[in-house]
A = this chain, B = another copy of it.
Amino acid sequence: MGEQRVPLVSLLLAYVVLNQGSCSVSGTNVPGYQTRYVEVQVDHFSFANSDTFQLRYLVNDTYFKPGGPVFLYTGNEGDIEDFVKNTGLLIEMAPRFGAMVIFAEHRYYGQSLPYGQDSFKDPAHLGYLTSTQALADFAELIVHLKETICGTEDSPVFAFGGSYGGMLAAWIRMKYPHLVAGSLASAASIFQFPGITDCEAYSHVATRTFQKSGAGCPEIIRSSWDVIQDLGKTDPGLRKLTSMFSLCTPLTTDDMPTLVDWLVNLWMIYALIDYPYPANFLTPLPAWPVKEACQLITSHEDVVSGVAAAAKLYFNFTGQTACLDISQPYYGGLAWQYQACTEQIEPICSDGVNDMFPPIPWDLAAFSQACYERWKVRPRPYWAVTEYWGRNISAASNIIFSNGDLDPWSVGCVLKSLSDSLVAIVMEDAAHHLDLRPSDPADPPSVVKARAQEAAIIKKWIQEYHSATTR
């Protein structure tokens, strides 16, 4: 296709993109939830485009008692049904609070396509895919909910989200606090923007997570890069790599940068989803997958054999995959790639010394050029810092920031409480937004404790909400 590949880090940004749903308009596949739609503006902030579209949301009123809170998941980059399936906290807390549970889909994902099949055609159709527009959608949705669902008129609304959805949960409280009484922002890397977080930090934590999971494991990974590059210089070496990784297509010298990117991404993702029980978040994996991967890596005599075995664990745990395809992105569709090329510029780099990765600089100019060639738009790398307050969020209130210490994205998150009502929770031995996932006997104690703390804070905010409105 002649497309230049977008540099590594931008792919990485698509960290929790699940399979995108097809465009068919069908009922919910999630038991207990009804599918509804709200009509919203394609462009909330100008009158040059007056088009509207239907935004999907899923409602579960099983436990709702009139006047009880509304727990609203601010959907991120994927079909909203997948987030219902991967999120447990809202519905598990609902009976205690008599809460309505709602999952709102993010525009340009799942069924919420402003221009149907044409949504990805060109910048004129795709350009309205921004977080600010999405927050305005959710604001309109909350107004709509209160007007259409009996018993919610006086309900406090709490926003929940993980990862990019966690950023949205934090941001909606910052930008629309009259509509949202408080937020739980899990793994919300709101500080992971240019100029306010060191781009190497992510790589450090990913390396640390591997270190924790297997003595000597990061060192072997670090040593693998030269071995792999050397193999890539000769035809026999390329054939060996093709065979060891069970690649679908014979490797050429030109493919070597792709192979390296693919492996770098692999390790970074492993650290992200290092859950304590078998899960199928981005891919089916066993419990503590980083430990499993490190066991494979450290138990092979040959460095590349170990690395290849760990790759196959990720891509073929179920044994259904005939061969590995390094040209396939790990996750995620066009929409997130576009967001990562426009506003969600979250730099990641590595130096090969303080981390287990090859040296990869953060090169904004090259990144911008690749984005332009792919999407015909240039990134606005500093806009998110202006729009969402950079590191100076002290004027905000009623946000819980929860973070797993295994999760490399935690480096861009709020790790220390900033006030009585900007509460940071760090969960030991926890990966990416583990607290949001369904409870499991294997959850570490830190996560069990975090969920109890989150519920207690929300209870307090509900009381404050009612005492303020009756005053």
Contacts and interface: CB of A to CB of B under 8 A. Distances in A.
A300 B49 CA distance: 54
Interface residues of A, number: 45
A203 to B, nearest CB: 28
A123 B49 CA distance: 8
B49 A133 contact: no
Contact of A386 (B49, B127, B143, B387): B143
Contact of A46 (B43, B50, B392, B394): B43
Given A47-B126, A47-B377, A394-B468, 13 more contacts: A44-B45, A45-B132, A47-B123, A47-B127, A47-B129, A48-B123, A48-B125, A136-B387, A139-B386, A143-B382, A178-B390, A179-B386, A395-B397
Interface string A107-141: 00000000000000001111111101100100110
Contacts of A49: 48, 127
A393 interface: yes
A378 interface: yes
A46 B178 contact: no
A176 interface: yes
**Most chain B Cβ neighbours within 10 Å, of A43, A48, A132:** A48
A168 to B, nearest CB: 15
Given A176-B389, A389-B177, A130 B377 contact: no
Nearest to A127: B48
Binding site secondary structure of chain A: loop
A163 interface: no
A395 B45 contact: no
A200 to B, nearest CB: 25
Nearest to A342: B47
A63 interface: no
Contacts of A43: 45-46, 48
A140 B385 CA distance: 11
22 contacts: A43-B46, A44-B132, A45-B132, A46-B127, A46-B133, A47-B342, A47-B377, A48-B124, A48-B125, A49-B127, A50-B377, A50-B378, A136-B386, A136-B387, A139-B387, A143-B382, A175-B175, A177-B395, A178-B389, A178-B392, A394-B468, A395-B397
